Chain A
């Protein structure tokens, strides 16, 4: 009995200490470090001047980051626990699934870490903007951003014409299925994503054969990276090049994260759709 009581007392003390270190901080954080591409962008948009100390290295990469230019104003971090800890953050912003080891380590070191789930829909994007506003103490700015995002989207809603049948196609035959940002971007632009009905596999890949036989009105390609890879050779395959496409039907960094930049992706697809409808 007494042993048990002792242990539970120790546990309570430990729990108390843990609670003090990781519990909600009163007042806005002053040294925020972001280690995830999507939290980088939301933080850059919402943080007060000087509040955000560092963003991840990916934030400056033009292929993946919709704010690569803006991100040059911040020092970058590699996302490693040691490097981040040395920045003496009072808040670390991380993704839900990546950099698990770093997040666990930082929490053990007593740093407050808030994780953001990847956005699979426009509603997820609104939720994450709101959450970012709360953790940074910028609620009003976040609400204003959501309202503007909703207004911009509403303005873009396509007129009720026949939807264009589209599919996204990238390296290794990767395509986007139901419940993804890409599908919602297409839908907002008056396109139907045909990948799920064409037999998109659980791995997110669509065999080229099935894409060809599904006969989409337009194929939206992924922008290519520097250097060569066998994975991207599929975008040069004669059977792929025979499919209808459009110079502007290309995904970009705006498709990656749930930020108000999604509006740019929708606008580009509306432009593509209008061209296709005009040619039909």
Chain B
């Protein structure tokens, strides 16, 4: 089975990158001592491995997976390779939701309040996009709607942070726009995990319906796919995944664009198979980016979105070039 081999290969890459992620950090811990400390959790080194590096590696895989699978699902539903959570404004709307929750104090009410607010922001954006772009999601409408939503959400985020009484808040506009995994803790893992699980459960059964959709809506309905239900599950699933990812790591762009684009030929362009493959591929891409930022500029907290954009923007331009016939 070529598909299973692909998944096994990607899973092995993710596992390898997680180990590398655990062993990279400013403290320069040896691999053997590091893994031993991770297992027994004793002393200062145990604290570093379990409370600082482990959550970072876990979040890298979780956030990357969430972004990859969201991109694949959106692209399958809209049958448009340009649909990506960051590009069409879902990430920036989530960031606005998260920032409002943090600055209003709502985030302190419950652990779930922050990802919940980010999810609400994401739902608004996904619903707006689907409303504006229509069932087929023509590229031009999709991208223009995304530009408008991103700009609006981004400026409101800046406004809220500018009005904060906290002098540090205003410098965090960059974090919300470009994302980072520095100094995250197990609290953030616990915060994101439930929402990501729900999102994954909502998207997992959509594979068959998305496959049928490649033949067109009428054909899909004739095959017994309930489109309204599919759409609702897609909106909520994507929003849960992107919302929780943004709530803990900020808006990281292009992962959902690049990963499905690379993997599509390997799964015979079948959306159902692309979902799982993109989840693993997204995890691998984000873990690699997070390892790279720590090696390139160990103490500068270089933002992840900088790296993913450097890799992703050329892909985006290439896709525009390829689909320019449709856009016009």
- Measuring CB to CB, which residues of chain A are less than 8 angstroms from any residue of chain B? 171-173, 199, 201, 203, 205, 207-210, 212-213, 215, 225-234, 236-239, 242
Per a CB cutoff under 8 Å, which of A228, A229, A232, A239 touches B52? A239
Q: Are B44 and A231 in contact (CB under 8 A)?
A: no
- Interface residues of B, CB < 8 Å — how many? 32
Q: A173 CA to B27 CA in the complex, in Å?
A: 14
Q: Are A227 and B52 in contact (CB under 8 A)?
A: no
Residue of B whose beta carbon sits closest to that of A214? B44
Is residue B197 within 8 Å, beta carbon to beta carbon, of the partner chain?
Answer: no
Is residue B186 within 8 Å, beta carbon to beta carbon, of the partner chain?
Answer: yes
Could you name 29 residue pairs across A and B whose Cβ atoms are closer than 8 Å?
A201-B299, A207-B25, A207-B26, A207-B298, A208-B52, A209-B27, A209-B48, A209-B52, A212-B47, A212-B48, A213-B27, A213-B45, A215-B44, A225-B165, A227-B103, A227-B164, A228-B107, A228-B164, A228-B166, A229-B169, A230-B168, A232-B168, A236-B187, A238-B51, A239-B47, A239-B48, A239-B51, A239-B52, A239-B185
Q: Per-residue 0/1 for B151-179: is the Cβ within 8 Å of any A Cβ (1 yes, 0 no)?
A: 00000000000001111110110010000
Per a CB cutoff under 8 Å, which of A229, A237, A242 touches B183? A237
Q: A215 — which chain B residues lie within 8 A by C-beta?
A: 44
Q: A228-B102, A238-B51 are in contact. Are A209 and B25 (CB under 8 A)?
A: yes
Q: B169 — which chain A residues lie within 8 A by C-beta?
A: 227-229, 231
Q: B187 — which chain A residues lie within 8 A by C-beta?
A: 236, 238
Q: A207 CA to B102 CA in the complex, in Å?
A: 24
Q: Are A207 and B27 in contact (CB under 8 A)?
A: yes
Q: Are B47 and A199 in contact (CB under 8 A)?
A: no
Q: Are B26 and A226 in contact (CB under 8 A)?
A: no
Q: Are A212 and B172 in contact (CB under 8 A)?
A: no
Q: Are A230 and B47 in contact (CB under 8 A)?
A: no
- Measuring CB to CB, which residues of chain B are less than 8 angstroms from any residue of chain A? 25-27, 44-45, 47-48, 51-53, 102-103, 105, 107-108, 164-169, 171-172, 175, 183, 185-187, 298-301
For the complex formed, measure the closest distance between the CB of B117 and the CB atoms of chain A, giving whole angstroms.
Answer: 13
For the complex formed, measure the closest distance between the CB of A263 and the CB atoms of chain B, giving whole angstroms.
Answer: 26
Residue of A whose beta carbon sits closest to that of B250? A230
For the complex formed, measure the closest distance between the CB of A217 and the CB atoms of chain B, giving whole angstroms.
Answer: 13
Q: A239 CA to B187 CA in the complex, in Å?
A: 11
Q: B165 — which chain A residues lie within 8 A by C-beta?
A: 225-227
For the complex formed, measure the closest distance between the CB of B110 and the CB atoms of chain A, giving whole angstroms.
Answer: 15
Q: A236 CA to B45 CA in the complex, in Å?
A: 19
Q: Are A237 and B175 in contact (CB under 8 A)?
A: no
Residue of B whose beta carbon sits closest to that of A234? B183
Q: Are A173 and B183 in contact (CB under 8 A)?
A: yes
For the complex formed, measure the closest distance between the CB of A37 and the CB atoms of chain B, giving whole angstroms.
Answer: 13
Q: A212 CA to B183 CA in the complex, in Å?
A: 13
Per a CB cutoff under 8 Å, which of A207, A212, A228, A230 touches B299? A207
Q: Are A226 and B299 in contact (CB under 8 A)?
A: no
Residue of B whose beta carbon sits closest to that of A230? B172
Per a CB cutoff under 8 Å, which of A201, A213, A229 touches B166? A229
For the complex formed, measure the closest distance between the CB of B50 and the CB atoms of chain A, giving whole angstroms.
Answer: 8
Residue of B whose beta carbon sits closest to that of A171? B168
Q: Are A172 and B25 in contact (CB under 8 A)?
A: no
Q: A215 CA to B47 CA in the complex, in Å?
A: 11
Q: Are A199 and B168 in contact (CB under 8 A)?
A: no
Q: A229 CA to B165 CA in the complex, in Å?
A: 10
Q: Are B185 and A237 in contact (CB under 8 A)?
A: yes
Residue of A whose beta carbon sits closest to that of B50? A239
Residue of A whose beta carbon sits closest to that of B98? A230
For the complex formed, measure the closest distance between the CB of A169 and the CB atoms of chain B, giving whole angstroms.
Answer: 12
Q: Are B51 and A233 in contact (CB under 8 A)?
A: no
Q: A234 — which chain B residues lie within 8 A by C-beta?
A: 183
For the complex formed, measure the closest distance between the CB of A234 and the CB atoms of chain B, giving whole angstroms.
Answer: 5
Q: B103 — which chain A residues lie within 8 A by C-beta?
A: 227-228
Q: Are B27 and A172 in contact (CB under 8 A)?
A: no
Q: A40 CA to B171 CA in the complex, in Å?
A: 26
Given A213-B27, A231-B169, A231-B172, 20 other A-B residues pairs in contact with their CB atoms under 8 A: A172-B301, A207-B27, A209-B25, A209-B48, A212-B52, A213-B45, A225-B166, A226-B165, A227-B166, A227-B169, A228-B107, A228-B164, A229-B166, A230-B175, A231-B171, A232-B166, A237-B185, A238-B51, A239-B52, A242-B47
Q: A230 CA to B52 CA in the complex, in Å?
A: 16
Q: Are B27 and A229 in contact (CB under 8 A)?
A: no
Residue of A whose beta carbon sits closest to that of B167? A225
Q: Which 9 A-B pairs have the closest CB atoms?
A: A227-B166, A231-B168, A207-B26, A229-B168, A239-B51, A209-B27, A201-B299, A227-B165, A226-B165
Q: A213 — which chain B residues lie within 8 A by C-beta?
A: 27, 44-45, 48
Q: In the complex, which of the residues B25, B51, B168, B172 has the most CB atoms of chain A within 10 Å of its own CB atom?
A: B168
Q: In the complex, which of the residues A173, A199, A238 has the most CB atoms of chain B within 10 Å of its own CB atom?
A: A238
Residue of A whose beta carbon sits closest to that of B49? A209
Q: B300 — which chain A residues lie within 8 A by C-beta?
A: 203
Q: A203 CA to B185 CA in the complex, in Å?
A: 23
Q: A225 CA to B171 CA in the complex, in Å?
A: 14
Q: A238 CA to B25 CA in the complex, in Å?
A: 18
For the complex formed, measure the closest distance between the CB of B6 and the CB atoms of chain A, giving whole angstroms.
Answer: 36
Q: Are A172 and B168 in contact (CB under 8 A)?
A: yes
Q: A238 CA to B102 CA in the complex, in Å?
A: 19
Residue of B whose beta carbon sits closest to that of A199? B26
